[in-house]
Amino acid sequence: MVFDQGLLAQLREARHVVVFTGAGVSAESGIATFRDALSGLWSRFDPMQLATPEAFEDDPELVWGWYESRRMQVLGSLPNPGHLAIAELAKRVPQVTVVTQNVDDLHERAGSANVLHLHGSLHQPRCSRCAQPFRMPPAPPVEPAEGRRLAPPHCEHCGGQVRPGVVWFGESLPVDALEAAFAAAADCDVLLSVGTSGVVYPAAQVPEIALHSGAAVVHVNPEPQAFGGQHEWLLAGAAGEVLPLLVQ
């Protein structure tokens, strides 16, 4: 793959790079995306039955079982060359801020520090009543398979049902992470938008803010992305192939 020399120079001279990631960066680790036509989770599951607070109220066993099966899958997966290249970038640029919409911990396991998680984490469940964090036992009594219902545990403080620590549709994003992501986007010289469809708000504002603040925005995605403007670029390909070449 041949990169534009102007783009490479901007990256080399950048003072602050934001890497904004979505499900596509974890696809090569074997974690399904949401909206890919054949393999995306939303092609097989109804988000309104699984990823809303109402869904959890209506059928906690269905929702908890689904998230536990996804958590188990992440625990059995490894960071891929895309995650590793993002961690490597931090050694070459004075400041790198990783902003992810992903609920896995593969950036951290690849070595990225201070990752901003806009949509929470599969690994930080909390009480649905009093919001206290819940410490998961090392292994579940029954390893949940896709589609298996599982009763959520109860909070040790108030007895409420424990819920996944992710952000569902209609819920607010964690204010501190969102504010830090917006501030980083307004400050950066280059933003790499990796493996995201960019349709879920307010997260999708992050690259928009960078663009409006004069940064170069580089999309890394095997699918064509709708964009325009002289400060926007598309590097067409899989994150695990493009990023190691870009960062070398």
Q: Which residues are catalytic?
A: 119
Q: With CB cut-offs between 5 and 8 Å by kind, which of Zn ion, ligand BJW, none does residue 134 bind?
A: none
Q: How far is CA 50 from CA 25, 27, 42, 63, 158, in A?
A: 22, 21, 10, 5, 24
Smallest distance from the beta carbon of 149 to ligand BJW, in angstroms? 17
3-class state of residue 123 by DSSP: strand
244 binds ligand BJW (CB under 6 A): no
27 binds ligand BJW (CB under 6 A): yes
Smallest distance from the beta carbon of 212 to ligand BJW, in angstroms? 17
Q: Which stretch binds ligand BJW (CB under 6 A): 19-27, 155-163, 207-215, 226-234?
A: 19-27
Instruction: Please check if 114 is assigned to a binding site.
Output: no
In order, the DSSP letters of 129-166 are TT--B-PPPSS-SSPPPTT---PPPB-TTT-PBEEEEE
Q: With CB cut-offs between 5 and 8 Å by kind, which of ligand BJW, Zn ion, none does residue 171 bind?
A: ligand BJW
Q: Is the dihedral of CA 37, 205, 186, 26 positive or negative?
A: negative
Q: Which stretch binds ligand BJW (CB under 6 A): 55-63, 86-94, 170-178, 182-190?
A: 170-178
Residue 16 contacts by C-beta under 8 Å, 6 or more apart in sequence? 93, 94, 95, 96, 97, 184, 187, 188, 189
Among residues 12, 13, 151, 169, the one that binds ligand BJW under rule CB under 6 A: 169
Smallest distance from the beta carbon of 53 to Zn ion, in angstroms? 16
- CA–CA separation, 158 vs 156, rounded Å? 6
Burial of residue 172 (CB within 10 Å: 0-12, 13-18, 19+) is exposed
Among residues 71, 197, 216, 217, the one that binds ligand BJW under rule CB under 6 A: 197
Q: Which stretch binds ligand BJW (CB under 6 A): 105-113, 152-160, 163-171, 176-184?
A: 163-171
Q: How far is CA 83 from CA 139, 182, 236, 239, in A?
A: 26, 22, 17, 8
- Residues making contact with Zn ion (CB under 5 A): 127, 129-130, 132, 155, 157-158, 160
State the residues that interact with ligand BJW by CB under 6 A: 22-24, 27-28, 33-36, 40, 51, 101, 103, 119, 166-167, 169-172, 195-197, 199-202, 220-223, 238-239
